[in-house]
Amino acid sequence: MLVKAVESSSHSSPAFKLDKYDFVQTLFEDLRRNFRHSLFNRRVGVVGRRYSFKDCLIPNPENVLTVRTILKDRDSKPLIEELRALPNQQHLTHKARVEIETVKDSDIVFVDGVAVAFRRKGELAPVLTNTSALDALPRIIVDMGAVPHVVGGADIMAPGIRRVTGEFAEKQLLAVVDEKHGKYLAVGKALTGSGPLAAAKKGKVVENIHYVGDLIWEVIKPKGPASQSSN
């Protein structure tokens, strides 16, 4: 339709015929040039790379553009009190700068520029880089065969668990680590108490709510060459 409109334009001669292929190519090149100057082609800290025209043509839910918002005192102070209820977070003060960055269904909370926790469905949980909080949580130690599944977002199944340390109740937060290196793989929520969980031989026992490689991790992960220290 657009090609016909150009051919029938009063500015075109009667014998003018537009090559459809050349027309589409020219239109595409013009669009691509304009796109280079658009917002999507700026460097975005979330994924650490430059967006291209391909990202516009093929939507990818992993490429999430996010904005970090600084909270006002009336909003940050109650949130600080909630954060202080997490393990080993009593050092947080009301004078700190609190920011929120929303990724999909989660709000990541930063205190003085450091990721501390995330909120989902009204509940707070520590992020994987907040090792001071994770160190105080009960632990689920999984075998190495379970690692790819855990970091792929799968819930933790009883057969993959090697040991359980600490006592906890149903719905309590847990740290999931691998048996070989003791690395934090995920933050989970217990689907049963520590006693029944340790005795379970089959079935799902821990809900995986945050893991290495998820959207939250892509925002908070260390950007330098240093890796997560052993626990």
User: For the segment 138-153, what is each residue's pLDDT rounded down to a tens digit?
Assistant: 999 999 999 999 999 9
Pseudo-torsion of CA 223, 228, 229, 231, nearest 10°?
Answer: 150
- Taking alpha carbons only, the member of 224, 125, 222 closest to residue 183 is 222
Domains and CATH numbers, the chain: 2-57 (no CATH), 68-126 (3.10.450.120), 131-220 (2.30.130.10)
Query: What is the number of alpha carbons within 13 Å of residue 44 lying toward its C-beta?
Result: 19
Amino acid occupying residue 206:
V
**pTM score:** 0.70
- In angstroms, the CA 139 to CA 161 distance is 10
How high is the pLDDT of residue 131? Answer: 97
- In angstroms, the CA 71 to CA 225 distance is 31
Q: Is 176 exposed, middle or buried (0-12, 13-18, 19+ CB in 10 A)?
A: buried
> What are the pLDDT tens digits along the chain (231 aa)?
555 555 555 555 555 455 555 555 555 555 555 444 344 344 333 344 444 444 444 344 455 557 899 999 999 999 999 999 999 999 999 999 999 999 999 999 999 999 999 999 999 999 999 999 999 999 999 999 999 999 999 999 999 999 999 999 999 999 999 999 999 999 999 999 999 999 999 999 999 999 999 999 999 998 765 444 444
How high is the pLDDT of residue 191? Answer: 98
Cα angle value 189/116/61 (rounded, 5°) = 70
Q: Are 187 and 174 in contact (CB under 8 A)?
A: yes
How high is the pLDDT of residue 67? Answer: 84
